[in-house]
Amino acid sequence: MIKSKSGKVGDWCFVIICILVSVICVVPMLNLLARSLSSTDALIKHQVYLWPKGLNFEAYTAVLSDMKYVRSFFWTVLLTVICTLVSLTMTTLCAYPLIFENLRGRSIINIFITITMFFNAGTIPNYLLMKSLNLLNNPLVLIVPSCMSVYNMIIMRSFFYGIPDSLRESAEIDGASYFRILVSIYLPLSKPVFATLALFYAVGRWNGYSDALMYVNKEILYPLQLFLYNILNNINNVEVATQEGFSTPGLTESLKAAIVMFSTIPILCIYPWLQKYFIHGVTMGAVKE
């Protein structure tokens, strides 16, 4: 099919917009990488833009030599894996029953679930709730309160709607239970949406620090983002920098960039593994077919 002139112009406009968006996303990362690998003299003189000057790994050495960072990193990795598995399980168990028309009170349940997307008790009631449940300074406080997203549940439920009813009905005729239908039919056909939601949950947990900031006082339970947040907030304080072992003159700017790179690169490594499922999972789960 031969496109019209206006159609070709539209395609080129779309390509240009995609290139601009890519540049906007990539350039800051290149600048951070260059700053983290540059010498302190080049940073002080503001000579670093997209390419490192005076290659220097001192900032990375300073971060990796801090055992508190290493401990926080591995704790965050473990926390992200656990939260992702728990969240996917809870999302599945919530979305699957809602696709059955014979479920009593299904419309009311959907309404109540949807309301939670728009209304929240607030910070203080949530804190008092966590306190009454004895979850403060407890690892479960970083898992249980955010174990399911209603938005993600709606995506999964819509994806389940797209699976032909004939498959479920044939299994029911053969005497399969609801759980067997879920395990044998829905889960194998739902890899795209599971990969997509796993990415959403993993990124959300990896980047999360507000819940730990409110509910956790033990440093051993600090996720990586909160640990780095505290360092970035206090890194210009000479006393704190000396205490953390980051008191080398001129290292501040390079260290800030290295910290941000450390917190960003690990989660970026997940995208290539899930990219082939991402678009399919979102588009298939966006509307009911």
The pLDDT tens digits for 72-99 are 888 999 999 999 999 999 999 999 999 8
Tokens of 91: 């999302």
Q: Are residue 112 and residue 148 in the same domain, yes or no?
A: yes
Mean pLDDT of 141-164: 88
Q: Are residue 242 and residue 162 in the same domain, yes or no?
A: yes
**Residues in Cβ contact with 214 at an 8 Å cutoff, skipping those fewer than 6 apart:** 123, 126, 127
Inter-residue contact 255 to 246 (CB < 8 Å): yes
Q: Are residue 167 and residue 256 in the same domain, yes or no?
A: yes
| pLDDT at residue number 91 | 93
pLDDT > 50? residue 287: no
Q: Are residue 168 and residue 278 in the same domain, yes or no?
A: yes
Q: Mind giving me the DSSP string for 169-231?
A: HHHHHTT--HHHHIIIIITGGGHHHHHHHHHHHHHHHHH--HHHHHH---GGG--HHHHHHHH
pLDDT > 80? residue 2: no
Mean pLDDT of 254-263: 78
Mean pLDDT of 205-209: 87
More confident site: 150 or 65? 150
Write the burial class of residue 242 (CB in 10 Å: 0-12 exposed, 13-18 middle, 19+ buried).
exposed
Range of the domain at 9: 5-44
Q: Are residue 79 and residue 181 in the same domain, yes or no?
A: yes
**Residues in Cβ contact with 190 at an 8 Å cutoff, skipping those fewer than 6 apart:** 156, 159, 160, 163
Inter-residue contact 116 to 150 (CB < 8 Å): yes
Tokens of 90: 């809870």
pTM: 0.79
163-194: per-residue pLDDT in tens?
888 888 888 888 888 889 898 889 888 888 88
51-67: per-residue pLDDT in tens?
888 777 777 777 777 78
Q: What percent of the chain has pLDDT over 70?
A: 85
| pLDDT at residue number 289 | 42
Q: Are residue 96 and residue 37 in the same domain, yes or no?
A: no
Range with the lowest mean pLDDT among 20-24, 39-43, 134-138, 163-167? 39-43
Q: Is residue 88 part of a domain?
A: yes
Q: Are residue 17 and residue 83 in the same domain, yes or no?
A: no
Q: Please work out, in degrees rounded to the nearest 5, the angle formed at the alpha carbon of residue 282 by the alpha carbons of 277 and 287.
A: 140
Q: Is residue 113 part of a domain?
A: yes
Range with the lowest mean pLDDT among 3-12, 180-189, 225-234, 276-285? 276-285
CA distance 122 to 140: 20
Tokens of 265: 């690169």
Inter-residue contact 85 to 147 (CB < 8 Å): no
| pLDDT at residue number 259 | 78
Q: What percent of the chain has pLDDT over 90?
A: 10
Q: Are residue 11 and residue 136 in the same domain, yes or no?
A: no
Q: How confident is the model at residue 70 (pLDDT cuts 50, 70, 90)?
A: confident
Residue 133: which CATH number? Answer: 1.10.3720.10
Q: How many whole angstroms from its chain centre is CA 30? A: 21
